[in-house]
Structure 1
Amino acid sequence: MKYVLFVVGDERPWAEAGPEERKRVYEKWGEYDRFLRERGAAPAGNELAHSSTATTIRKDGDRILITDGPYAETVEQISGYVVVEAADLDEAIELAAAMPSDVEIRPVPAEVAS
């Protein structure tokens, strides 16, 4: 079964991080990627640009409303995602617990997972 692991957190520290701190964080993510591959979790995913670069589209009947910025203004944002293969939610939780950040897990419904 596929699960999406959403990377969740406050974007401010990353935006303020210097080159050495960013390198250290990317190294942790490289270790995490190797961990997933060793487990056969077939990872795929990406870092996302800062939420301030988002464009939101809302529909109001036949009208389409386009605004700059994220869908919701919150302290924490989704800053990336990883898609993994896991036997069940317990395994997905185990894979997510090794992630170097906070994470939200969502299953991909079987009928759309292909």
Structure 2
Amino acid sequence: MGKKSTSLLLAGLAAGAYAYFKKPENRDKAVEAFNSTKVKVNDFIETQKQNLQDRSNTDSSNSDTTVTGDVNEDYHLDEKDMVSEGALTSVQYYNEEAQERLDAKRNLQQGDN
């Protein structure tokens, strides 16, 4: 059932596209819209590349930040802080557990004496 409805949907879309692009003015509009979109996308990509390059040049002297293509610097710094705090929390937890085991062992040894 799903295959049949998908086939019908695609056939309907193809028929609609044919009917729309049959007129030369519609084809011209579509080509113009496509070319305009292509130019805008290329401009956006170039701008993003330039921004990334500018950030990497600015931040190369600052070793506390790591520049990546899709990560906001402020967020990345906060993320580093969270990781360092999390690492300290787990170390602290491990040290407390180890200390409790050591204290329990000492109490057992003192109780045996």
Question: Which of the pair has more CA radius of gyration?
Answer: 2
Normalised to the residue count of structure 1, the TM-score between the two structures is 0.29
Normalised to the residue count of structure 2, the TM-score between the two structures is 0.29
Q: Which has the higher contact order (CA 8 A, sep 6+)?
A: 1
Higher fraction of strand: 1
